[in-house]
Chains A and B, each alone.
Chain A
């Protein structure tokens, strides 16, 4: 069992998964090296299914590096990652990525309209793409559904992607990731480029998606208030190690380690 282990000598609160939650991802002894530097070391954790997990920590703590492992944008140098009771490397990588969507920190718009951007998720993907069984009407329905889920105004469908606001672009990126009907959505600081009000609305959307679609969300954020309000679980990383992990309320309220506590209170 990954949980219960003490991954760091000076760890804060380390809780097992709350009862009733099963693990979507389990990481065991994960180590990652980039440009000769160890960015993740001895990572042992469970990420619950159907809940929102926030990954927090200072810059360079390894948050994004950890997130990128979960849909194999990168592979770790050592350790095991299990997704739904099966080693992540045992899934065909394209299939895995269609189940585990990724929303990047800076939204990326593909050439064309919003519709083109969303349909790209259906038409691209080789053998993993469902185009062969989708009619035009089906594709249109899925575009409309994804836009509704991401709370995008339907009239934007024919708008050129480059002519949207930052918040709208990020919602298009979320809608595009939802086009493949993923079980998991990985979000890398999705609100970092947005104003606080737009960021709050996006977090409300994320919350609703997780609840209504039973979507597992793993979200990197540097806004601790965002983690506190939106997530069910919080994992605190420090210099590539897990130093606190558990229910968000417990991590924020009951952490006693003074250094971690000071970090968690930086925004208050």
Chain B
């Protein structure tokens, strides 16, 4: 590594603090958005204001909770925080579904628990080697990013599978009528759901650093870390998100698929052919 790069990597710049007055100035930017909504009669002004207030309140609360958890430094508090994040993300993923059900809630919850848990375990023991093992400064942000990606993937996979199954009833029944298994009959919907859920991750890997500067990396740089450290973390994050997304998608799709068939290999979604 050239000496100037080495020295740049060592530099830890002091962070510029954003005061409450500064935040108030930032609020001015929201006024621009509200103004445009009002001007174009979009009817979104009220929701933008509520959204802005929620952003401030929610983030302040999270900030205080994190300060509390960091200060107390107890493994069980970290565990509760991670579990809370998982539950909220699971509920959010299922609430976006047209066909939300308790079964889907359970499938999504288990998928996200397994995917996020395994990925976090892998990252924290093999890659980042967090000490102590429950260090909230690492586990909470890493888990947040993993769960966020898994949540989106689970939502896309479930939504796409349900819509493909509904759109392809004729094809699925044609397969079933030939004596195929449910897996064979639904291979196209499953493939479409897997592709749809994985595609944002694949695209993200392709353009990262060129089209987008990821939030975590930007945050680290703003916080004074060397860009060379920040990119390493970002690479770790990209890979762990890809793993979490792949595991979540596979579990949700393959498990959810089973709920569309009876034990006698009959399709449960309403069929167009049943009318006559």
Residue positions of A touching B, CB distance < 8 A: 34-35, 59-65, 68, 71-75, 89, 93-98, 101-102, 104-106, 108, 110-111, 120-121, 124-126, 128-129, 173, 176-177, 179-180, 188-189, 220
Q: Is B181 an interface residue (CB 8 A)?
A: yes
22 contacts between A and B (CB under 8 A): A60-B275, A60-B276, A62-B276, A64-B275, A68-B274, A71-B177, A73-B173, A73-B176, A93-B265, A95-B179, A97-B176, A97-B179, A98-B178, A104-B170, A106-B170, A108-B171, A110-B171, A120-B175, A121-B178, A124-B184, A125-B181, A179-B178
Q: Which residue of A lies closest to B270 (CB)?
A: A35
Judge whether A176 and B173 touch: CB under 8 Å. no
Give the A-B contact count at a CB cut-off of 8 A: 93
Name the residue of chain B whose CB is nearest to the CB of A32: B274
Report yes or no: B181 in contact with A94, Cβ–Cβ below 8 A.
yes
Residue of A nearest to B274 (CB): A34
Asked if A125 and B178 make an inter-chain contact with CB atoms under 8 angstroms apart, the answer reads: yes
Nearest neighbor of B168 in chain A, beta-carbon distance? A108
Q: B266 near A: Cβ within 8 Å?
A: yes
Q: CA of A95 to CA of B180 in the docked complex: distance in angstroms?
A: 9
For residue B27, give the distance in angstroms from its CB to the closest CB of chain A. Answer: 53
Residues of B at the A interface (CB closer than 8 Å) are 170-171, 173-181, 184, 188, 264-267, 270, 273-276
A64 touches B274 (CB 8 A): yes
5 A-B pairs besides A59-B276, A220-B276 with CB distance below 8 A are A64-B275, A64-B276, A110-B171, A125-B184, A189-B276
Give the one of B171, B177, B184, B264 with max A CB within 10 A: B177
Contacts of B266 in A (CB 8 A): 72-75
The residue in chain B whose Cβ has the minimal distance to the Cβ of A74 is B266
In the assembled complex, the CB of B266 is this many whole angstroms from the nearest CB of chain A, namely 6
B22 to chain A, nearest CB (A): 58
**A219 to B: closest C-beta gap in Å:** 13
Residue of A nearest to B178 (CB): A121
CB of A214, distance to nearest CB on chain B (Å):
20
